[in-house]
């Protein structure tokens, strides 16, 4: 009996599966906002087009007087829906001659760059949900105290913090997101604690530069212009129905391999936007 030889043909599917796993891991490491919100991917089963997350109010505690009956109460339930409708993709063609004559590992480099750009895309999707903060009862969209320069000040942070506390949210569990425009103003606030002073026992998130009044400060370019946000992890929910998938197909006319990375997910602001505060430019 002749020896059976296992070559690239037999192992290419496994190789692509491993690349997909690496791309997903790299995406999660590069994302600055994924670790700061709620992940419901375990509910995004095959066949589902959306996820419903039930939420409810609470009870009022009262007194029981002698010889007086107590009125029963009800809890009203509502649901937040995460629609799994975000099918995002990156594709590129790599000619054989370019791959052969390149001084770097072109395929690996391109795949990692694509995964990094997907991480930024996901952060932008999450930030877009932050922008759906409640605008009435309560109003969680406020303006900077400095109406002229739109510079962030301590009074702005305290205002955002108060609105979160009013919703029975512990600000020590919250995050404050700023862009490069506001980072320099944040660093100048006396109460800001740089991440360099945390000590070795406290983990630091990607993009985290420090804390102020217990809130971790995240810097990202998805926070464009001067808009900034404070949020609890339960402010936004997301779910991957399909993690990053890597595929390739040979294009004979181009003498090139077409590589494709795609994911299927959904993003949604939760609890009617009451768990996030947006501070924006003065109209």
* pLDDT tens sequence across 30-72: 899 999 999 999 999 999 999 999 988 788 888 989 989 998 9
Strand partners, 211: 193, 216
> 146 in helix, strand or coil?
coil
**Residues 8-29: pLDDT tens digits?**
444 455 566 777 777 778 787 8
Question: Could you please report the per-residue DSSP string of 148-200?
Answer: TT----HHHHHHHHHHHHHTT--GGG-EEEE-HHHHHHHHTSTTEEEGGGS-T
What does the pLDDT average to over 97-113?
84
- Count other C-beta atoms under 10 Å from residue 256's C-beta: 17
Strands 236-251 and 256-269: antiparallel
The pLDDT > 90 percentage for the chain reads 62
What local confidence, expressed as pLDDT, does residue 10 receive?
Answer: 40
- pLDDT at position 7: 45
Please tell me the predicted confidence (pLDDT) of residue 12.
53
Looking at per-residue confidence, does 184 or 104 come out higher?
Answer: 184
What CA–CA distances, in Å, run from 98 to 104, 110, 257? Answer: 10, 12, 11
**What's residue 226's pLDDT?**
80
d(CA 173, CA 10): 49
User: Which of 90, 129, 83 is CA-nearest to residue 270?
Assistant: 129
Task: Indicate the average pLDDT of the chain.
Answer: 89
Are 164 and 275 contacting, i.e. CB atoms less than 8 angstroms apart?
yes
Cβ atoms of 264 and 84 within 8 Å: the answer is yes
Task: Please give the residue that has the higher pLDDT: either 165 or 102.
Answer: 165
Instruction: Tell me: pLDDT of 279 over 80.
Output: yes
> Do residues 222 and 33 lie in contact, with contact meaning Cβ atoms separated by under 8 Å?
yes
What is the predicted pLDDT for the residue at 219? 95
Longest dimension (CA), the chain: 94
Per-residue buried b or exposed e for 162-179, using 16+ beta carbons within 10 Å of the residue's own CB: ebbeeeebebeebbbbbb
Do the bridges between strand 50-56 and strand 228-231 make them parallel or antiparallel, or are there none, so unpaired?
unpaired
Task: Judge whether 126 and 262 are in contact, CB under 8 Å.
Answer: no
Rounded Cα gap, residues 144 and 142, in angstroms: 7
């Amino acid at each position: 009996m002749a020896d059976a030889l296992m070559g690239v043909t037999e192992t290419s599917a496994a190789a692509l599966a491993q690349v997909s796993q690496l791309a997903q891991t790299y995406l999660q490491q590069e994302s600055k906002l994924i670790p700061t919100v709620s992940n419901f991917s375990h509910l995004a089963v095959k066949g589902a087009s959306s996820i419903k997350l039930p939420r409810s109010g609470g009870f009022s505690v009262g007194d029981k007087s002698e010889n007086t009956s107590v009125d029963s109460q009800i809890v009203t339930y509502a649901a937040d829906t995460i629609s799994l409708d975000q099918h995002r993709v990156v594709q590129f063609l790599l000619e054989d001659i370019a791959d052969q004559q390149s001084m770097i590992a072109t395929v690996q480099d391109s795949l990692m760059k694509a995964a990094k750009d997907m991480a930024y895309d996901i952060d932008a999707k999450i930030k877009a949900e932050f922008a759906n903060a409640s605008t009435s009862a309560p109003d969680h969209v406020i303006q900077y105290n400095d109406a002229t320069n739109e510079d962030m000040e301590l009074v702005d942070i305290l205002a955002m913090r108060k609105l979160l506390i009013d919703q029975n949210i512990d600000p020590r569990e919250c995050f404050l997101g700023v862009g490069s425009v506001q980072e320099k103003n944040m660093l100048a606030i006396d109460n800001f604690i740089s991440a360099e002073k945390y000590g070795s026992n406290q983990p630091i998130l990607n993009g985290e530069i420090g804390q102020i009044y217990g809130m971790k400060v995240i810097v990202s370019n998805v926070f464009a212009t001067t808009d900034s946000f404070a949020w609890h992890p339960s402010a936004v929910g997301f779910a991957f129905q399909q993690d990053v998938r890597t595929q390739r197909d040979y294009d004979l006319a181009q003498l090139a391999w077409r590589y494709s990375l795609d994911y299927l997910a959904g993003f949604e602001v939760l609890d009617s936007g009451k768990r996030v505060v947006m501070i924006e430019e003065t109209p």
